[in-house]
Amino acid sequence: MFDNTDALSVSQLTNQIKQSLEENFSQVSVIGEISNFKAHISGHWYFNLKDSNAVISCTMWKGFNNYVFFTPQDGMKIIVSGKITVYPPRGSYQIDVRSMKPAGIGELQAAFEQLKQKLSAEGLFDEQFKKEIPILPKKIGIVTAIDGAAFQDMISVAKRRFPLVELVIAPAKVQGSGAAETIVKSIRLLNEQNDIDVIIVGRGGGSIEDLWAFNEEIVAREIFKSKIPIVTGIGHEIDFTIADFVADLRAPTPSAAMELTTPNQEDFYSFIKNFSNNSTQILIELCNSYQDEIDNILNSYGFRMPIDLTRRYYQQFDNLTYRLFQNIDKKIIKDKNKLSLLTKEIESNDIQRLLKKGFALVKQESKFVTRASIFRKEKETTIRFYDGEIIIKKQNNEQ
């Protein structure tokens, strides 16, 4: 017979282990290499932390991983802080991670190089995909922190170089957790506009951690996808980010980005002034040259000959004109006499005049009877005299 009265159930043993571990390891910091990293759709992160001899499961809830400024990748060496918890259904322990940071600058640099090689292999850095920057933009979109010095510097440069340009700010968080997402959102927002000519993505200088949002893959892909040309001005001259490699043009600073994007109004003034001065001088020289040439032509013998010929032809023209008008006058007088004779002849044959002399017109059925042979006694007859008409009714043949 075995006595099992002192035996613990699995749940009891697990609860004792859970209590012991969680009380004794309520605050730990562990360094290790990430493996099997998974970002769940819920926003929680699940991954393993390992070294050459051991591995431990880790969980980082959404409320805490929002404060991580970089995207963890398998193989990255990190330091996590949190507490040990036990998951009873599996009887396993894990680190409930509250904070995470790279184990050193070398880890971020390694992640930088890894993503750079990946995107380069995909062609995101190729020159053939670079869009041309407009020479004379009307509207410039800016993605940066609205309360940062970089934004004020860009405004000052725009006012100095080309005050006609309109600046459209799409505010974004440029450092820390969630910065990459806000940069992506702002780039998308500007691309939804129809009148933005070019976009500047920028921020002032800082450490590699400060600039890390611009090394995130989601930012790089959004810049590449933008239909509007993008100029980056991130950090100082020595700073390079993944966003710089993908952008259509990279400037060493935010101010330099605005310099490259806007024309200089002083150049316009100088061009107009030089053009005006040069054009005036050229016109004066041309006028003087043509004036001398014209004077020489007017004073030449060959030019005077046509004038003499013209004057002689003028005289001949005057003579011909005089003779023409004389002939026209004679023709008019002749035609007037002929018209007078014709008028008198017409008047002599006027019907009224003939009727006045005692003649009469005979009509039957609206037709003039000009011969006795065609007169019909049985038809109604109208006789027209000078002073009126007489109608003779048709005769009755039965009488």
What pLDDT digit, counting tens, does each position of 116-126 carry? 999 999 999 99
Q: pLDDT of 59-106, one tens digit each?
A: 999 888 888 888 888 888 889 999 999 888 888 889 999 988 888 777
250/208 Cα distance (integer angstroms): 18
Count Cβ atoms within 10 A of the Cβ of residue 254 and give its class: 0-12 exposed, 13-18 middle, 19 or more buried: buried
320/24 Cα distance (integer angstroms): 135
Mapping DSSP to helix (H, G, I), strand (E, B) and coil, where does residue 296 land? helix
Element (H, E) at 322: helix 301-348
Mean pLDDT confidence for 360-383: 80
Q: Are 274 and 290 a contacting pair, CB within 8 Å?
A: no
Q: Measure Cα distances from 163 to 79, 138, 171, 306, 392 in Å.
A: 49, 10, 21, 62, 109
- Looking at residue 372, its pLDDT comes to 78
Q: Are 73 and 37 a contacting pair, CB within 8 Å?
A: yes
- At 233, list the tokens: 């001005």
Provide the CB-side half-sphere exposure for 152 (13 A, CA): 3
The whole-model pTM stands at 0.57
Q: Are 236 and 252 a contacting pair, CB within 8 Å?
A: yes
Q: pLDDT of 336-351, one tens digit each?
A: 888 888 887 777 777 7
Q: Are 18 and 43 a contacting pair, CB within 8 Å?
A: no
Of residues 382 and 186, more confidence is placed in: 186
- Looking at residue 329, its pLDDT comes to 83
- At 89, list the tokens: 């259904």
Mean pLDDT confidence for 278-295: 79
For the chain, which domains are there? 10-103 (2.40.50.140), 111-127+136-263 (3.40.50.10550), 352-392 (no CATH)
Mean pLDDT confidence for 254-275: 84
- Looking at residue 398, its pLDDT comes to 47
- At 98, list the tokens: 């509250």
Q: Are 172 and 145 a contacting pair, CB within 8 Å?
A: yes
- Looking at residue 157, its pLDDT comes to 95
* Cα 395-397-399 angle, rounded to 5 deg: 95
125/393 Cα distance (integer angstroms): 120
Q: Which residues contact 312 (CB under 8 A, 6 or more apart)?
A: none
Spatial CA neighbour of 180 closest among 149, 147, 143, 148 = 143
DSSP string, 82-103: EEEEEETTTTEEEEEEEEEEES
39/37 Cα distance (integer angstroms): 7
* Cα 111-114-117 angle, rounded to 5 deg: 150
Q: Which residues contact 16 (CB under 8 A, 6 or more apart)?
A: 8
Residue 182 CA, chain-centre distance (Å), reads: 26
As a whole number, the mean pLDDT across the chain is 85
Mean pLDDT confidence for 373-384: 81
Spatial CA neighbour of 94 closest among 106, 86, 102 = 86
- Looking at residue 399, its pLDDT comes to 42
- Looking at residue 397, its pLDDT comes to 53
252/239 Cα distance (integer angstroms): 8
Q: pLDDT of 205-224, one tens digit each?
A: 888 888 999 999 999 999 99
Tell me: pLDDT of 323 over 90.
no
